[in-house]
Amino acid sequence: MSDHGLRHRLVAILAADVAGYSRLMAQDERATLAALDAARGVFKLRIDANQGRVIDMAGDSVLAAFDSASGAVSAALEIQKALAITSEAFPEERRMRFRIGVHLGDVIEKSDGTVYGDGVNIAARLEGLAEPGGITVSGMVHEAVRNRVAAQFADLGEQSVKNIATPVRAFRVARDASAAAPPARAPAALPLPGKPSIAVLPFTNMGGDAEHEYFADGIVEDIITELSRYSELFVIARNSTFTYKGRAVKVQDVHRDLGVHYVVEGSVRRAGNRVRVTVQLIDATTGNHVWAERYDRDFVDLFDLQDELTRAIVATLPGRLGAAEVERLRRKPPSDMAAFDYLLAGKIHHHRATPEDNDEALRLLDKAIALDPQFAQAHAWKACTLGQAAERGFRDPPEKFLMLAWEEINKAVALDENDVECHRLLCEVCIETRQLDQAMMHNERALAMNPNDPRLVAQKGEVLTWLGQPTEAVEWLKTAMRLDPHGAPARAHLLGRALFGARQYGEALEAFRRIRSPRHGHLAFMAACAAQLGRDDEARERVAAAVARKPGLTIGTFVQGLFYGKASDREHLAAGLRKAGLPE
């Protein structure tokens, strides 16, 4: 040990994190945190039992050190076995699976037990190569434990990993020969759409400054938005692509998971008023690079840079329309780039959807508006954030914040009548006030400007349902789910309502069953579906569950609270609820 409290040691490092953690949190934050706490208990128990020690459990990750490689591998095997057993009680899509990587190498250990060095970095990279529920180890670990643990090893060959100069030999680990295959069966690949399809993955913030992480995210969001304006492209939504943020991912996995032909990856390095953006377009079916470019610009040129990136990406896609047929709808850039900065930061906090982030988003958006009062997008996003506060109960009374949201929407439309967000939000307000024809008008205006936005596509399906056109609504809602596969459960209730209106009760019931935490309204629709199918016992159970969540629930109060434009649709639902036994 040196005078500075540092010493070099040869240790086995175990690194782990949750596969698809962002997706799980988006679906059910509370349940995900509870599952994470339970998993941490398993890690602590098995690490201690194998003479290891936990170094860190930040976020959804685990870092541990062992004096022997066999102890680390034994702990990893025991952890994955225990977690597999406990996860069997959950639906497939809600199961929390960890990736684990193990490496034996030199580290620098501080007096407080913290470790640093390539040994830690390589373990983390090996973890990124593991399948969900699986274990990957380095060649050094394989040599050390080959005859000492009851496990099988599948040679993955030399792997090039980020920030490590030389390739790393990797092995997949399993308890027996039959388990040497990936522990979690990969889902069937989604079919490729009939037109060029693309997923823009989160860019890496190369500057290392967490303060500018929002800037890298904001660039990606804008590229997704701009690409989505081209009706000849099938563009995967932000909600689905951002589940890959912070992960080492193979583009072939993105092709399989999202059903896309092309993937865009990139990095952003910002220093003062200069920004460097590096972008590469990859054929996800083969892994071959189609195109790559680096852009060095002054930050004040950001909008021109975004246009240049979008045109360059679209120009290389096969099957694209001629340049004369590609129409670009421009948004009004703010006069002050600092206002744009605040907007990007506000949007990031809005997406996190917690009371604290909602407050911070409003503060940042107010700063953007103060710097540029004519910035329509800032007013639109402030309206969206105020609506989020009212809808999720972040602020009281909700009526006041809905009124404030309406004021901001009107300001945004007055400033820029061609703004997509303004028309999307106006559609929502018109639905709430039962102005369905006006709602459809605003939705169609927004869709004309951004035809691939899954929020707008799903919104059209919802409006069609209320207008009494459920069969057409079903097709729009299925398209929205295809555009945003990871967001499909959040739109399941919209599809369920449309299918019920189309008299497809069995499919409607299946759609409602995809909802993670059904509310009383969802249960009421499920009761009506079951009753129409003659499943009387199930119908009564659903009614009882709905009333338990909403005491005093009646047919009259529930049906009148919905936005059906036709009396026949209200009576159709009332008849199903009556069969199910819900009081009048």
Residue 190's φ and ψ, nearest 5 degrees, are -70, 140
Task: Write the DSSP assignment of 180-197 as a string of letters.
Answer: GS-SSPPPPPPPPPSS-E
For residue 176, the model assigns a pLDDT of 56
Task: Write the DSSP assignment of 356-419 as a string of letters.
Answer: HHHHHHHHHHHHHHHH-TT-HHHHHHHHHHHHHHHHTTSSS-HHHHHHHHHHHHHHHHHH-TT-
Residue range(s) occupied by CATH 3.40.50.10610 in the chain: 197-329
CATH number belonging to domain 197-329? 3.40.50.10610
Identify the three-state secondary structure at position 563: coil
Q: Tally the C-alpha atoms within 13 A of residue 427's C-alpha that lie toward its C-beta.
A: 25
Distance CA 507, CA 526 (A): 11
8 A C-beta contact, residue 20 and residue 241: no
CATH number assigned to the domain with residue range 332-449, chosen from the 4 options 3.40.50.1220, 3.40.640.10, 1.25.40.10, 1.10.10.10? 1.25.40.10
Mean pLDDT (the chain, rounded): 81
Instruction: Quote the longest CA-to-CA distance of the chain.
Output: 83
Two tokens, residue 283: 């054929």
Distance of CA 354 to the CA centre of its chain: 15
Of 17, 82, 11, give the one whose Cα is nearest residue 46.
82
Distance CA 545, CA 473 (A): 28
CA quadruple 66, 69, 74, 76: dihedral positive or negative?
A: positive
Which residue bears the tokens 């969001």?
221
pLDDT < 70 positions in the chain? 1-5, 89, 163, 165, 175-189, 194-195, 207-212, 214-215, 230-232, 299-338, 486
Which residue bears the tokens 């951002």?
242
Two tokens, residue 17: 């994190």
For residue 175, the model assigns a pLDDT of 67
Strands (E), 149-223: 152-159, 168-174, 197-200, 204-205
- Considering the entire predicted model, what is its pTM? 0.54
Q: What's the fold here for domain 6-180?
A: Alpha-Beta Plaits (3.30.70)
8 A C-beta contact, residue 375 and residue 398: no
For residue 463, the model assigns a pLDDT of 97
111-124, pLDDT tens digit by residue? 777 888 888 888 88
Identify the three-state secondary structure at position 157: strand
For residue 331, the model assigns a pLDDT of 41
Residue range(s) occupied by CATH 1.25.40.10 in the chain: 332-449
